[in-house]
Amino acid sequence: MAQSNETFAGYIQRVRRMIHEVTANASYHSDDLIKELFNDQYRMRCNDLVVAFEGYFTDVAVTSLVANQSRYPWPPGFERLLKLELVRDDGSTIPIQRFERHEHSNRAPQSSGESYWPQYRPIGSSFVLEPAPNDDDTDALRIEYYGLPARLVADGDTLHSDFPITFASLLVYDTVVAALDTELMQENGVVKTILRLRQEFEIRWERYIDGRITSSNQVVPFVPSYNDA
């Protein structure tokens, strides 16, 4: 997806023009406040795109295996797992499924050529491999995951390349509404306004939880592609 060349400073200036406060001088809305509001709207819209399950904001990380170590942290910026794979020496990969074994061993079908399929299960900010690796292996795990885009900070920062340029203006309108809401709350103490803002986050929170279960994404291995000779 193409990336917009408009910078963070440009978006903030557009917001100021729409609220008729071109500069921060004698303005209720400081630059810091508008930047904070813009980032809030930006990340909420990014979350909406993720809910669409279209591969937006997908990152890839590799992790090395350590002998007899079963627990590994998720990469920085991790929000939700898309795919976890073992990387063979020849570069081929094996998808690892989520599975929590209690009594019975997880034997692989004879046709696979494997004796035991490796599995994982998430625990908080990390995951556990079963069985634990026998040897050290550099960059042997490939993690494909959704990571929320970083907040815009510097004036020259731009939106993530996955964000649709067509809807960049929507972020400006979102920020304008949020800015006017904060002014209204200050002047009139309108409780309804803060309740509405909270409700918007509440709706997105529920949608996020609905799609949070890692096991909802499954990869079916194509057995002949990784048969052991």
20-49 per-position pLDDT tens digit = 888 878 777 888 999 999 999 999 899 888
Q: Give the per-residue pLDDT at 139.
A: 92
Selection from 12-16, 195-199, 220-224 with the highest mean pLDDT: 12-16
**Average pLDDT value for residue range 69-94:** 90
Q: Give residue 214's pLDDT band: very low, low, confident or very high (50, 70, 90).
A: very low
Q: Give the per-residue pLDDT at 228.
A: 47
The alpha carbon dihedral of 229, 138, 136, 65 has a sign of negative
CB-side neighbour CA atoms (13 Å) of 75: 20
Q: Give the per-residue pLDDT at 154.
A: 96
Q: Which of 156, 152, 149 is nearest to 10 (CA)?
A: 156
9, two tokens: 């400073």
Selection from 11-15, 27-31, 129-133 with the highest mean pLDDT: 11-15
Please state, for a pLDDT cut of 70, what percent of the chain lies above it.
75
* Cβ-based neighbour number of residue 214 at 10 Å: 16
Q: Give residue 73's pLDDT band: very low, low, confident or very high (50, 70, 90).
A: very high
What average pLDDT does the chain have? 80
Give residue 34's Cα distance to chain centre.
Answer: 24
Its pTM stands at 0.69
Query: What is the H or E stretch that residue 130 is in?
Result: strand 126-130
Does residue 10 have a pLDDT over 80?
yes
Which residue did the predictor score with more confidence, 177 or 204? 177
The string of pLDDT tens digits covering residues 89-120 is: 888 888 888 876 655 555 555 555 555 567 89
Does residue 124 have a pLDDT over 50?
yes
Does residue 149 have a pLDDT over 80?
yes
